[in-house]
Amino acid sequence: MVAAALADLPAAPDAVGHRIVHGGERFTVAMRLEPDVFAALGELAELAPLHQPKSLAAVEAVERVLPSIPSVACFDTSFHATMPPAAATYALPAAWRRRHPVRRYGFHGLSHAYADRRARELTARARRVITCHLGAGASLCAVRDGRSVDTTMGFTPLEGLAMATRSGSVDPGLVLWLQQRERLSAEAMANALENESGIFGLSGTADMRAPGSRRRGGAACARRASTGCGPESERWRRRSTGSTRSSSPVA
């Protein structure tokens, strides 16, 4: 599909920009997609399994059609590289943090950066901004003076708000308990949290528009709809309140 669309371009572009979800600790600014950069991004696929492989496949598809045109990676994690250690650090054993790149990276950074920039253009005095990326994937971000200071997503895009099929934040003790009680492999648990939870788990549909419309389908559908929307509305309210505190100036 990508190749077919590019083949119809009236003229070749000067460059191609790619949204890449995870840049890890190494990539905090846009980078030209040289072979070593591409290989390093592939190693991060386990941290964003729903996104990274598809994005890199798109890069390959573009380069097959436009082999002489530079490809540039723009990272969803870059905007959050400015988060202070208090927001980016997990309270986990220090030995784990030394051995592994364990930190909160945050995602949807390209969207949050644009929303903050536009909000400040329209409201000249705005220094503290809460940006909301709400869709099948969802996150909030606290921005102060154009810099991300906190966000709801973390090490992977699974943390934070519940999404279309992703659980969002869940008590780790509950995850361990369910894994043992249900005798689930790590892969099976990851699939349940990534693909069978969130709004889908609450209401039976991953269509973010559908829970409200189901109220017209009778009492049973209405109950399922309110079950799906109620908990998430409350979680979004709590998270936005926390983000407001994060964006406040520190004395």
* CB environment 75-95: b (16+ within 10 A), e (fewer): bbbbbbbbbeeebbeeeeeee
Active site residue 76: yes
Taking alpha carbons only, the member of 45, 158, 25, 205 closest to residue 102 is 25
Q: Kindly report the pTM of this predicted structure.
A: 0.83
Tokens (6 digits) for 162: 């519940």
Tokens (6 digits) for 172: 């780790």
pLDDT digit string (tens) for 157-199? 999 999 999 999 999 999 999 999 999 999 999 999 999 999 9
Q: Which of 36-45, 170-179, 227-236 has the lowest mean pLDDT?
A: 227-236
Domains and CATH numbers, the chain: 2-75 (3.30.420.40), 109-246 (3.30.420.40)
pLDDT digit string (tens) for 82-132? 999 999 999 999 999 999 999 999 999 999 999 999 999 999 888 999 999
pLDDT at 222: 43
d(CA 170, CA 114): 29
Mind giving me the DSSP string for 65-94?
H-TTS-EEEEETTGGGGG--HHHH--SS-H
Q: Exactly one of 8, 14, 36, 76 is catalytic; which is it?
A: 76
Tokens (6 digits) for 169: 């934040």
pLDDT digit string (tens) for 197-230? 999 999 899 987 765 544 444 444 444 444 445 5
